[in-house]
């Protein structure tokens, strides 16, 4: 067996970046689809269903509102 090597050491602590998932999308005011998804997300959160909360967040983010990016 070989000798144990010294672990790699770094001069500074690693940078801590916020998770993208931490930023929850805000429903567009007046949009019925966004409003329904936000209510569904709230119900899922109360029920402890984190997967459904995440699904609703994705749908709110991806829901088109007439922007060029959304029309692709």
User: Does some domain include residue 17?
Assistant: no
Compute the distance between CA of residue 11 and CA of residue 7 in angstroms, rounded to an integer. 13
The number of beta carbons lying within 10 Å of the beta carbon of residue 57 is 17
- What is the per-residue pLDDT for 11? 82
User: Does some domain include residue 50?
Assistant: yes
- The total number of structural domains that make up the chain: 1
Residue 17 exposure: Cα atoms within 13 Å on the Cβ side: 3
User: Does some domain include residue 40?
Assistant: yes
User: Does some domain include residue 56?
Assistant: yes
- What is the per-residue pLDDT for 16? 79
User: Does some domain include residue 71?
Assistant: no
User: Does some domain include residue 54?
Assistant: yes
Tell me the pLDDT of the chain (72 aa) as tens digits: 556 677 777 788 888 776 665 678 999 999 999 999 999 999 999 999 999 999 999 999 999 986 544 333
Query: Closest Cα to residue 62, out of 53, 72, 52?
Result: 72
């Amino acid at each position: 067996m070989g000798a144990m090597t010294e672990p790699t050491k770094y001069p500074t602590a690693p940078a801590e970046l916020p998770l993208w998932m931490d930023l929850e999308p805000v429903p567009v005011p007046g949009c019925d689809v966004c409003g329904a998804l936000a209510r569904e997300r709230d119900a899922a959160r109360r029920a402890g269903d984190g997967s459904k909360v995440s699904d609703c967040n994705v749908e709110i983010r991806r829901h088109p509102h007439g922007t060029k990016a959304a029309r692709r």
